[in-house]
Amino acid sequence: MAVLPIVEVPDPRLRLVSKPVAAITDETRSLVADMIDTMYDAHGIGLAAIQVGIDQRILVIDLQEDEDEEGKPIRKPHAYINPEILSLSDELSTYNEGCLSIPEQYAEVKRPARCRVKWQDETGAAHEQDLDGLLATCMQHEIDHLNGVLFIDHISRLKREMLMKKLNKARRAD
């Protein structure tokens, strides 16, 4: 398992529509393991394959909401291969989103509060589930990545320009 480099804006790969995974192989499972390591190393809760330069419809999520007796997050990563949103609620929720591909930048994003999603896991088993709360938000955010969409595409042009100026300023300061 390895930590992979994360692709950051303005890299054009982030705008690609990722290809479906035709067959789940040992190579697929190895990529999933590397993506999980990369997500934890970057202190994220979700990561799409395109964010590590692989244009396949794979994402990993671990909200790490539960803690052990010492207050450390309990890791329960999940892989979603060929995920697809089947339905979205009319009710919206707002979350202050960030992205590993747009480091240290956050913005309030409105998304459907609930969604129904189908996917395959790394064994090839099919799943379908209704999601809500942070998991629904994170799933929509990561599936957006698979479709070449970034969270900043959901905010006003003015806010997006301000966020990108802030990011570029931070990069120059490094």
Phi first, then psi: give them for residue 164, nearest 5 degrees: -70, -35
Phi first, then psi: give them for residue 111, nearest 5 degrees: -140, 165
Measured distance CA(143)–CA(80) in Å, rounded: 10
Please provide the size of the chain in residues. Answer: 174
Residue in 27, 91, 142, 161 annotated catalytic: 142
At 91, list the tokens. 């009710």
Known active-site residue 142: yes
At 165, list the tokens. 């100026």
Which residue segments constitute the domains of the chain, with CATH numbers given?
A: 12-173 (3.90.45.10)
pTM: 0.95
Q: Is the peptide bond before 5 cis (omega within 30 degrees of 0)?
A: no
Q: Which of 103, 108, 97, 100 is nearest to 159 (CA)?
A: 108
pLDDT at residue 107, as a whole number = 97
Measured distance CA(74)–CA(88) in Å, rounded: 29
pLDDT at residue 168, as a whole number = 93
Q: Is 64 exposed, middle or buried, given 0-12, 13-18 or 19+ CB atoms closer than 10 A? A: middle
pLDDT at residue 68, as a whole number = 86
Q: What is the pLDDT along the chain (174 residues), one digit of tens a residue?
A: 799 999 999 999 999 999 999 999 999 999 999 999 999 999 999 999 999 999 999 999 999 888 888 888 889 999 999 999 999 999 999 999 999 999 999 999 999 999 999 999 999 999 999 999 999 999 999 999 999 999 999 999 999 999 999 999 999 987
